[in-house]
Structure 1
């Protein structure tokens, strides 16, 4: 018999008991690459932070705010990637967590509001080419503007993953796993930090929200169970305890700490 795993659920390929979904910018990395471009190459920090607050409190949708941010960046795309490689750093605990997850058959799925070419370039730079090939990345894309090359001034634009108000509604990727029959369904984790993660916040068994970031505020306002993390070292310890049966996902959802 052939595999019964639906094509739409690639993380089930190895029959894992746990799947780790995660945001990329500001979660796997210490800095958000899109914020960095906006603050340093685009319309600046003040307008970017105002846009995030408008999204957090429901005054705008994420898609429109994010589009405006990235449209303000006119630097050629290849130069943007070079600048990000030099300035974006990896969460100090991610590499060891990634290696442990791989050894323990826990797929890592990156769900990002960013752009796939940026994520792939940064992961290859920070973790290695081999890692990029083993991590599923679901995100937005990038394309040249009409009549321009992507690598000229004002030549690129974001291409959103879907038609939602998020541009990439991360819940759409998680829900098919969450709705599996109990005997087939893995335990699902999610880690995030900001407004691009609001669509994913209620979809998994345990949510890790980065301490001091907007996702914590959202979870507290919306009464979404979560636990905070400062680095992937915190996530690694908690997930390891859950996998070992020392802790349940309900016990782990301690909120702000």
Structure 2
């Protein structure tokens, strides 16, 4: 019987974070009172959660950690595409979804300040979007469990879909894009810009925020105005090595505080002045389009071998 899209069962209430991990005085989630619209895009594995959802499943119910490490090296060396390797990894799973999810519940740790940051986004009408190379049913179930279904429902998940049979013998990714990536995060952000026509009601220019942790986030990061890279991980290492400006963060509380600072400074500088000078010119191409139909044209103008764009100095954290 051919596999069909999975229907997820109700998930139990998430466990509370241990007191030792709770921040004593989280930043305020109150409205900032600024005018420019802000849009947040965030990676999932290693960003919102410290672990990788796929790795937990592969290690426990699939190809195993040794084979997975070999496959990871094949991606890094260019021997095989991300899509090809991912199909092997997901195809190696043989576990019902509910059973596999038990491993995720016990092994995943959410960023201690993500829930507060998400409340901040809701209170400031900041759309928060997850952009991931993972599988949407897995990510949605994780969010439902850890932050609750109501809060989870307000987060758009832009990821690959999946077909999983009832017995868990077949896990098949349904790729978002038909290329070697399977999901081109940069293309997804441009699709969002085009389809949603993100323009605030008062005519100001939306500020695009991207939050990530790995080098695989670079294609999406170059479409943003402001990049946040988790401190000590691969994305920050890449930025340091290539002298690429970014803002380092340890938890989402750091991101929240920086967004408030940036938004207030930007509000003072840009009221009544049109396009500010402190926006990434690479990302601003789409804003100068006379209509939404011009957006894909600007995206196509970007060279395929472009590694990163020129970041605005105002959003740079010095590297010591």
Report the TM-score range of the alignment, normalised by the length of the smaller protein.
0.7 to 0.9
The alignment of Structure 1 onto Structure 2 pairs a total of residues equal to 238
Q: Is 222-231 or 129-138 further displaced after alignment?
A: 222-231
Change (3 A) 1:221 1:126: same
- How far off is 1:118 after superposition? 1.1
The corresponding residue for 2:227 is 207
In 1, distance between residues paired with 2:315 and 2:143?
Answer: 28
Alignment partner of 1:254 is 2:317: yes
The corresponding residue for 1:129 is 149
The corresponding residue for 2:96 is 76
The corresponding residue for 1:171 is 186
Q: Is the 8 A contact 1:74 1:155 kept in 2?
A: yes
* 1:132-171 → structure 2 map (5 Å cutoff): 132-144=152-164, 150-171=165-186
Q: Is the 8 A contact 1:56 1:214 kept in 2?
A: no
Q: Is 211-220 or 179-188 further displaced after alignment?
A: 179-188
TM-score (norm 1): 0.81
In 1, distance between residues paired with 2:121 and 2:206?
Answer: 14
Change (3 A) 1:60 1:250: farther
Q: Is the 8 A contact 1:108 1:136 kept in 2?
A: yes
- How far off is 1:41 after superposition? 2.2
SS at match of 2:221: coil
In 2, distance between residues paired with 1:213 and 1:52?
Answer: 16
SS at match of 1:142: strand
- How far off is 1:69 after superposition? 2.0
* 1:217-228 → structure 2 map (5 Å cutoff): 217-220=237-240, 224-228=244-248
Change (3 A) 1:72 1:55: same
In 2, distance between residues paired with 1:108 and 1:72?
Answer: 32
SS at match of 2:255: helix
Q: Is the 8 A contact 2:176 2:182 kept in 1?
A: yes
In 1, distance between residues paired with 2:70 and 2:190?
Answer: 31
- How far off is 1:157 after superposition? 1.5
In 1, distance between residues paired with 2:42 and 2:117?
Answer: 12
Which of 232, 253, 256 matches 1:236? 256
- How far off is 1:170 after superposition? 0.9
Change (3 A) 1:175 1:153: closer
- How far off is 1:21 after superposition? 0.2
The corresponding residue for 1:41 is 61
- How far off is 1:237 after superposition? 1.5
In 2, distance between residues paired with 1:136 and 1:38?
Answer: 25
Q: Is the 8 A contact 1:178 1:203 kept in 2?
A: no
The corresponding residue for 1:107 is 127
Change (3 A) 1:16 1:25: farther
- How far off is 1:50 after superposition? 4.1
Structure 1 unaligned blocks of 5 or more: 1-14, 145-149
In 2, distance between residues paired with 1:224 and 1:205?
Answer: 13
In 2, distance between residues paired with 1:16 and 1:143?
Answer: 40
